[in-house]
Amino acid sequence: MKTLITGGTVVTATDTYKADVLIDGEKVAAIGKDLRAGGAKRVDASRKYVIPGGIDVHTHMELPFGGTFASDDFHTGTVAAAFGGTTSIVDFAVQDFGQSLEKARDTWLAKARGKAVVDYGLHVIVRDVSDKVLKEMATMVSEGVTSFKLFMAYPGVFMVDDAAIFKALARSAEIGALILMHAENGGVIDVLVKKALAAKHGEPKWHALTRPPEAEGEATGRAYKLAEMAGGVPLYIVHLSAAQALEQVRLFRDRGLPAYAETCPQYLFLSYDSYEEPGFDGAKYVMSPPLRPKWHQDELWRGLAKNDLQVVSTDHCPFCMKEGYQGLPKQKELGRGDFSKIPNGAPGVETRMVLLYDGGVVAGRISLNRWIELCCTTPAKIMGMFPKKGTIAVGSDADIVVWDPKATQTLSAKTHHMRVDYNPYEGKKVKGKVVTVLSRGEVIVDKDKLVGKKGRGRFVKRGSPALS
């Protein structure tokens, strides 16, 4: 089956040019002017951009957290991803205490199989860094799971100590894996949380007030230092939110160390002010790290422009505000009166591409090519999926989005596809819109209609990170 995308402007991380794109089966077969292909299905892209499908390397479908589960599963979450122009996600399997990494991976594969509409890879969250687990990491790498997340926060739940981090970092270098770090000082945060609760401060804003940016800055610096002591091994900080953490990234990168970091749209577009919304509404924004005072946003944009931040992912981890929404159990409500019990996370897998286009490209903060680099190409490279994913090139998977640069839309829970009853950007008007989405050559979204079948998404075996 051949498909010819005609008349569009191809945008990659490096180039912008008018060309047709010919797809043969699942792959890009040719890119050029006035291509001909008898019998090919045609996709008209005139006056549109033809971009690589987005790669979101940080999602949590059905993540168990605080007695409930993130409200999107691999079906609803990947449908939302597709509508937003994202054709691959990398989700986080969670290792239970004492569990093998294989078992954790298989549990997540079972969640995804038969449900995902776009392709997916997996990282594993490691909670228990035993000698056995350190050995298993190599097996995981050989089977396409090439990254492992560790936490410096949530004592007793996810947090591991410096010795464990050090061992995992050293091991990652031996086997060609990458450690992803949740960098917040969990010990300090725990003390602050207990103190706030003892003073009867239960409102959502106290989530942010007890997780100061310095706790993120300290942990970020410590994590990079541990990576340096482990032999100067690469380390990738996830969901970086604060100027204090970015300062550490800069420090280590300027010294030539392989320090990498991602940020997320919520830290670029939302701020601490959202926690001051009336009643319990601040719970919508309870995530970790929390939203920061507005001035941090300019620093993060500068970090993206200067490549101190290399990736924008979403940390998509939705929990509903209303009780019983679509039959889901009580979620954010679990923490009414006690902010420490509000499940951490917010939705975003559907809105990343357009927020970065509108607030980045249209607003003049980043170039069109940098948008693609941040949202598609570098995530694919760092997570070992390039050049199969993350670009438009002959031989690459035909994961392609036809993007209307002039169309406008209003973000809203009334129209989004994420299984969650609020949108953090409710009512925000943005420029840019997905028209057609192809995944491995198959049209899966066509003009606001889902045509991709449930379960068509495939597990992506990833290689070692390609770091530059």
Name which of ligand URP, Zn ion, none residue 345 binds, using a CB cut-off of 5 to 8 Å depending on partner kind: ligand URP
Contact 452, 445 (CB under 8 A): yes
What is the smallest separation between the CB atom of 286 and ligand URP, expressed in angstroms? 7
Residue with tokens 């100027």: 243
Question: Should residue 344 be labelled a site residue for ligand URP when binding is judged by CB under 6 A?
Answer: yes
Phi, psi dihedrals of residue 309, rounded to the nearest 5° = -110, 130
Q: Is the Cα dihedral 21, 23, 27, 32 positive or negative?
A: negative
Q: Which of 105, 111, 182, 292 binds Zn ion (CB under 5 A)?
A: 182
20/91 with CB nearer Zn ion: 91
Say if strands 147-151 and 178-182 run parallel, antiparallel, or are unpaired. Answer: parallel
Name which of ligand URP, Zn ion, none residue 344 binds, using a CB cut-off of 5 to 8 Å depending on partner kind: ligand URP
Rounded to whole angstroms, how far apart are CA atoms 291 and 21?
41
Contact 249, 309 (CB under 8 A): yes
- Contacts to ligand URP from residues 136-165, by CB under 6 A: none
Q: Which of 288, 331, 391, 436 binds ligand URP (CB under 6 A)?
A: 288
Residue with tokens 């300090």: 188
Name which of ligand URP, Zn ion, none residue 8 binds, using a CB cut-off of 5 to 8 Å depending on partner kind: none
Size of the site for ligand URP (CB under 6 A): 9
- Contacts to ligand URP from residues 50-69, by CB under 6 A: 60
Question: Should residue 332 be labelled a site residue for Zn ion when binding is judged by CB under 5 A?
Answer: no
Q: Which of 8, 52, 318, 345 binds ligand URP (CB under 6 A)?
A: 345
56/358 with CB nearer ligand URP: 56
CA 401 to chain centre: 18
90/445 with CB nearer Zn ion: 90
94/434 with CB nearer Zn ion: 94
62/315 with CB nearer ligand URP: 315
286/435 with CB nearer ligand URP: 286
Residue 92, SS3? strand
Sorted by sequence, the CB contacts under 8 Å of residue 311 that are 6+ apart come out as: 57, 260, 261, 262, 263, 374, 378, 379, 382
Rounded to whole angstroms, how far apart are CA atoms 270 and 277?
12
From 17, 71, 36, 55, select the one nearest 331 (Cα to Cα): 71
Is-cis flag, bond preceding 289, omega within 30? yes
Phi, psi dihedrals of residue 375, rounded to the nearest 5° = -100, -15
Count CB atoms within 10 A of the CB of residue 449.
9
Question: Should residue 287 be labelled a site residue for ligand URP when binding is judged by CB under 6 A?
Answer: yes
What is the smallest separation between the CB atom of 346 and Zn ion, expressed in angstroms? 10
Tokens coding 275 = 């926690």
What is the smallest separation between the CB atom of 466 and ligand URP, expressed in angstroms? 24
Question: Should residue 315 be labelled a site residue for Zn ion when binding is judged by CB under 5 A?
Answer: yes
Contact 86, 353 (CB under 8 A): yes
Name which of ligand URP, Zn ion, none residue 287 binds, using a CB cut-off of 5 to 8 Å depending on partner kind: ligand URP
Question: Should residue 388 be labelled a site residue for Zn ion when binding is judged by CB under 5 A?
Answer: no
- Contacts to ligand URP from residues 184-243, by CB under 6 A: 239
91/358 with CB nearer ligand URP: 91
182/416 with CB nearer Zn ion: 182
Over the window 163 to 192, marking each residue x when it contacts ligand URP by CB under 6 A and - when it does not, the resulting string is: -------------------x----------
Q: Is the Cα dihedral 135, 136, 141, 143 positive or negative?
A: positive
Rounded to whole angstroms, how far apart are CA atoms 378 and 370?
10
74/386 with CB nearer ligand URP: 74
Contact 334, 67 (CB under 8 A): yes
| Site for ligand URP, rule CB under 6 A | 60, 182, 239, 287-288, 315, 317, 344-345
